[in-house]
Each structure stands twice: as C-alpha cells, then as structure tokens.
Structure 1
C-alpha cells in the first residue's frame, strides 16, 4: 500500500457528539436490554402496531435517523456518481456476489450444528445495505452522494434478488453440497414495501427539503444554518431505534449469552472481512478515499430491519432465526462505529483529493 501523500490534508475531526458515539450506543443498548427485562409485556406492546412488517416505534426511529442524512445530499451532483463505472460495478459485485457467499460460508463454518441460527445469519447476509450505512459513511467522511446512489441501487437489486438468493442459498446450494435445506418464502412485494418505506419516504423528504429550502432561502442558509439544526436528529433516531430494538429481544439476548456469542463470532469475521476487502479493492482500482470508504461501508453494512422482518414473518418472533437477526445489529453497530475510526486513520494511505471546483450559485 502506498505511503501517505505528501501535503495531504488531515481528516476533519469529528464533533464531540460524534466522538462519543460508541458511549451513546453502549448506553442505548444497555437501556434497551434493561427495558426488555424489567418491563413485563413491553415487547408485545411495541409489536402491537407495525409499519412494513416492523414495529412502529422502530420504523419511526429509522425514518428519523435517515431524514437528516438524506437532506444533506447534493442531488445536483449525483451524475458524477452514476458515471463512475468502477464504483457501481464494484458495489454490485461485492453486495450481490461476494457478501452473500461469504456469509453463507461463515454460517456453515461456525454454526453447522445450530440450524436456526445458521439460517438467520444467512438471511442477514442476503439483506444488503440500507439505512444505518449512510450514518457510518457520513461519520467516516465518505462520499455522501455516492452513498445515496449506492443505497438506492442496492435497494432496487434487493427487491429483484432477495427472493431468488434466498432460494439459492437456503435450498438449492445446500442441496448441491449435500447439506441441510431450510428454504424461505418471501414475496417481492414484502421486500419492495420495506424499501419504499425505509428508504423512499426519507429520500423524498430529504430531496424536497433541499429543493424548497434552497429556493426559499438560498444554498448558504440551507447548508450553514438549516442542516446543523437538523443534523443531531439522525443520532437521536439511531439511539432511539437501538433502545427499542434491544428492548424487543432483551430477554432472549440476556438469557442466552452463549448463543449470542456463537452468533457473534461469524458476524465479527464478516464485517471485518467485507470492509477490509472493499477498502483494498477501492485503493487497487484507484478510487478516492471518499469513494473507497463509501464502497466499504455499503458492502459491509446490512439491512437488519428487513432481515428481522423476514425472520419473524417466516419463523416467528421467538425463533432462533429472529434472534440471529437481532444479534446482527448488536454486533454491527459497535463494529462499524469502530471501523469509522479505522477509516479516518487509513485516509493517509490514499492520494489527496484534487481541489474541488467552485459550486454554481444557488438559484
């Protein structure tokens, strides 16, 4: 790997709020686990009303988490992303060929004797990046516009490919290899509904906010005054989502620590492997640090809300498959937060970006 480029600018420092993100996330996890154990009937109350197959409080938290990030995207610059064939092709290959195959292999290596957890882990591997990945990309100073495009592109592929890949990895491939089969049935509409709710709504809100805000008050006001005001809402939405998510499965997680540990090991390997491979690939094909980081987080992140919804819908809320789905974000959140700091450290190994052209004046 090349040495740091002379004269490269140092990565911008995270705000105090963002630097303490691991602390806030740890406290949110603990609060959720405590609520799940201490408040009888809380899980049933939280699951009583659902949106897109997901508990309504979780759905609201996800929408709140996504909106500020998507309101920051410069939609007038998306053509610079769609024209980068290296980035788009690499993302599709990593997400739809490499990622599911790696998770399938790890699930069978580490959980061959635990079929329910193994199946749940494979489902997590099939549910590709959405939602939280944009938060990690933003914290690591990745390319925000590229992240929005890749998440949208992978969401479309998810609608088309999730059911087919589920049949392949849970039924066809195990049959070819002489392994146990555990097929699932999930309709394309169920997947499309999840994508439309958890990506479509905040994406439309973010786009309209920028369009109307810049028209009414200008780009300077929008980016220097408005965005800093709504920015912390993404963190609040993330923490709220984590509290509710872990409250729903608090009893299962705290009463089965050895099972959680068994599920955690292949997940740790998966996140580190996918992130590291993607960063190395981005460097090898001469992507910038910003786009290599975006490629890495969109390849390593998973759509845990879809995985949990599918596992609960097919196997039940108390199933081992659902527990494996919930353990996914339990491991993913702190690991990818840690990789944000590793990404900022690795920035020195990428060439310094060329000076940006002056932005056109706001209409």
Structure 2
C-alpha cells in the first residue's frame, strides 16, 4: 500500500507541475506559510491536514451558504489574489471562482473532479419530470466537465476518493509550491490517509443495515456516498427556487417514492427544506438532515472527518428506528 501511494503521489506531482499556474512557483522563504484558498470547507480542511503548520487555509463559502449560488465578497477576492494554491471542486459547482483567476495567474490550482478522473460519476437528473417544472439543475451549476457527459461534482463525499485521489493531488501541489517541505507533506498525507481508511471502515460498519435502502433528496449530492456504501437509489429533486412546487409535481414525487420503496427524505442545512417537508408529510417518511459541507464553527461537523461521521451516524439512526418499529409489531 505504501509503495502504491508513493507511486501515485509522484505521478500527481508531475501532473500538477505540468498543469498549474503560468511559471515557477516554488517557495524558498522558510518563514512564510503557503496560503491555500478552497471554495468549500471540506477541501480546505483536507488541505490543512496535509499542510499542517506549514499552510494557512482559507474557505470562501461560509457555513450555511451553498456553493451553487455563492458570490464572493471583495475581501475574498483579495484572498484569491494572494493565494499560492487555489482548490476548487469543478464540474460547474463553483465556476464563479474561475472569474477570479485573472487576478492570480501564478497560483497553482487543484480541481477535485479532475483529480478523481474516470471515477467521476455522471450527473443524474431529478425525478418528477413531465409537469412542466424546471428539471434542469436549479442549484446554480450545469455539472459540466471537459467531456461531453455531464458530471456529478460531489466527489468529496466519498472518503475513499479523497484518500486515493484528492488528498494526493493537493499534496503534490504543496510540494510544487514549497519543495523544501516535501517530506513533511508526504508524511502528513500518509497519516491522513490512515485516518480516512479508519473512517471508511467505520461508515461501512454503521451503514451495513441500510444496504440497498433508497432515499429521496432535495439536492443530488449523495450519489458518491451512496455508491461507496452500497445504498440503493437516491432520488434527487431539482426545482427552481423561484417556483412553488405544484400539487401535480408533488404527487408525482410521492408516487416515485412509493415505487422505489424510499426509506427517508433527505434535507440539507444549506437549502430550504420546503419541498422535502411536504413530501415527508404526505408520505409519513422520516425527514433526515445530512450536511455535505459542514464548517470550522459548525458543532460536530468542524472537520471533514467529523462531517462524514455525522452523516453516517445520522443515517444509521434509521436502522435503529426500523428495529424498534419491528419489535413493536
């Protein structure tokens, strides 16, 4: 495993050297930390764990906000302008940051979806089509990629992809910027990969009782998580925020839930729960709040590892509830 990690890391270092920035960016000053700006908190926290005391990370999207509709402030534009490294998701989720690149053409860049490569999943349209509602992604992105097939950008919600693809790509970028700290970055990566392996094992154990279980979500963020942990279909709802859900549209969704044997309705803190509250009320399904983003000041979700544990623990409660209900019958 260690030899494979080293080989992958070296390959990524070469790729970053070829693709990031417009000139040499190696830092020689021993007293100045590398500045990394990430569009979302999970990527910033992953970078901080790899960089340690050698790195200062900044998150652009604050807790409670959605990267799909976010607009950076002038102060955040300045953060991007002075960054050594810019880390973004890609695939249309945070394209608003690309408009800031012209202020800092020399920064090294890491795009999470590109780091994942062929492991990226295709975008899945929402359910409930046929009522004249907006079935295009209404969350501020088209999920486009360099290929002709639209891509789901929520790659960070698979801890194994973070361990094997995203974290090594960030490490390679740090090594390009500050090659004198290469050994420390590599050691931090190896340590963090160990934590991610432990996390993956914990989630597998916690969600074993939900294998094949289906869900419906207001936002199609959970496809990678569902695939990794053998959940069933996760139906996603895509409705324009400017439109009220029609009675016919809600009825179509409820019918889809029943046909798929949906176990729960998934909401998120960053998105208004109006539509899923109606669905949960009409079907009697439990409403579960999962969080794809977390934040440094969000209790219980103040690191990427804590965030993923929160989501797994929240879903695992459904298994316990089902067992209690079965005992009552």
TM-score, normalising length from structure 2? Answer: 0.27
> Greater strand share, 1 or 2?
2
Question: Could you say which structure has the greater relative contact order, defined with CA pairs below 8 angstroms and 6 or more residues apart?
Answer: 1
> Greater helix share, 1 or 2?
1
